[in-house]
Structure 1
Amino acid sequence: MEDPNYDFLKSKFHVSKETYFILRRMAKGRKLKTGETLVEQGRKSRKVAFLVSGLMRAFNTLETGKEITKNIFTPISFVGAFSSIVKDEPSKFCYEALTEAVIFELDLHDFKAIAEKNIDVSNLYNRILEQIFIIYEKKLIEDMTLNATERYTRLKDKIPMIDDLIPQYQIASYLNISPVQLSRIRKSLL
């Protein structure tokens, strides 16, 4: 029987069956309801997740109450407060399910301990970190070089039903624009 999670990890990160089974033993599958959090802003966490289905986001709530969405995660991606875990400090972001989601969650410290003894797991860890860096760099470049309409169009290409799945203010926050500006962009594209 085919396993799409293994197929993804094998194609993207060259994971062997042995390494995959190590990960499966470490990871705990769970379902998140819409609005349920993986990590809360201001709290420490040791957990990272592999998002299998649904949408999640990382956001920061300012003292004014305004939310700044740093990222929207789609399947299949890694989600977690990596900086918080590595630096052993409270997370600056909340990681929340935007829709019902299925994740496989594991303790990053346990994963790193195995990586210190197993070269295949260590190589996987390095490839995952490289991939995360590439994703953030791509988003940074898009934020700096594309206008709001182009960023919205790219988001719609990535998540075609985004307008039906999450509130407009969350989309606008991710695009770093106001909900009013997003409404104007939508009208201009019709």
Structure 2
Amino acid sequence: MNQKDCHVNYLNSFSSIPNEIVEELFNISEFKTIKAGKQIVKENEVPTKVYMLTSGVVRCYLSSESGKEYNKNFYLPYSFVGPLTSLIDRKPSQFVYETLLDSEMYEIDYYKFSMLCKKHESLNILYTKILESVYRVYEKRLVDLISLDAKSRYFELCNQIPNLETLIPQYHIASYLGITPVQLSRIRNKIEIY
């Protein structure tokens, strides 16, 4: 199975799409290899693209006025990446999306994709299924932040990202968990003792 077939299989895991419509989707997409540390969406930029990540890691973060960064999410293959609210409202993004590792992804013109969704019911169903999936992840993150302590949130993140420690720097992990790097170090040290 070639790479493109793997990518199509991922899309079909949400909802089955006829081959000719898949081709239309690829026609409005560009496959890109992006180096680590590159911002694919900048703060205050009005975005027009959404991304399907096929390799690497992307982080999404928000910066305070003082310049402190707060990690909102980490994206691993396969996932859809982009500031959805900004795309829908055609407004500047509050978030930055940055590659943490060299990454490969499809860059998709969101507005052309929206037009295709109006034209093809199967793509509209796919879009709905993807949104449902994204919302489930978002809701779980909110519940975890409210109901779990820092140690439990760390365990949960380790379950979601098996190679967490090798993929994502400690200070980014701490920011995502809402704790300091020192607190994260203490949690990790306690775990190693057991």
The aligned residue for residue 136 of structure 2 is 134
Deviation at 1:74?
Answer: 0.9
Q: Distance in 2 between matches of 1:20 and 1:131?
A: 20
CA displacement 1:64-120 (0-9 Å, x = unmatched): 111000100111000001111111111000000011110001111111011111111
The aligned residue for residue 144 of structure 1 is 146
Q: Which runs of 5+ in 2 are unaligned?
A: none
- C-alpha RMSD of the superposition: 1.3
The one of 27, 38, 41 aligned to 1:39: 41
Task: Decide whether the 8 Å contact of 1:10 with 1:16 is kept in 2.
Answer: no
Is residue 83 of structure 2 the alignment partner of residue 81 of structure 1?
A: yes
Task: Decide whether the 8 Å contact of 2:14 with 2:130 is kept in 1.
Answer: no
The aligned residue for residue 160 of structure 1 is 162
Deviation at 1:172?
Answer: 0.5
Q: Which runs of 5+ in 1 are unaligned?
A: none
Task: Decide whether the 8 Å contact of 2:16 with 2:122 is kept in 1.
Answer: no
Q: Distance in 1 between matches of 2:15 and 2:69?
A: 33
Task: Decide whether the 8 Å contact of 1:13 with 1:128 is kept in 2.
Answer: no
Structure 1 stretches of 4+ with a deviation exceeding 4 A read none
The aligned residue for residue 68 of structure 1 is 70
Q: Which moved more, 1:139-148 or 1:68-77?
A: 139-148
Q: Distance in 1 between matches of 2:50 and 2:183?
A: 34
Q: Distance in 2 between matches of 1:13 and 1:71?
A: 25
- Identity value in percent: 38
Deviation at 1:16?
Answer: 3.1
The aligned residue for residue 32 of structure 2 is 30
Deviation at 1:132?
Answer: 1.2
Q: Distance in 1 between matches of 2:132 and 2:99?
A: 24
The aligned residue for residue 110 of structure 2 is 108
Q: Report the secondary structure of 2:13's partner residue.
A: helix
Opposite residue 164 of structure 1, the aligned amino acid is T
The aligned residue for residue 98 of structure 1 is 100
Q: Report the secondary structure of 1:116's partner residue.
A: helix
Q: Report the secondary structure of 2:119's partner residue.
A: coil
Deviation at 1:18?
Answer: 2.9
Deviation at 1:46?
Answer: 0.5
Q: Distance in 2 between matches of 1:156 and 1:130?
A: 23
Task: Decide whether the 8 Å contact of 2:14 with 2:126 is kept in 1.
Answer: no
Q: Distance in 2 between matches of 1:20 and 1:177?
A: 43
Q: Report the secondary structure of 2:93's partner residue.
A: coil
Q: Distance in 2 between matches of 1:131 and 1:103?
A: 19
Q: Report the secondary structure of 1:157's partner residue.
A: helix
CA displacement 1:24-53 (0-9 Å, x = unmatched): 121100011111111001111110000001
TM norm structure 2? 0.93
The one of 12, 15, 37 aligned to 1:13: 15
The aligned residue for residue 121 of structure 2 is 119
Opposite residue 160 of structure 2, the aligned amino acid is K
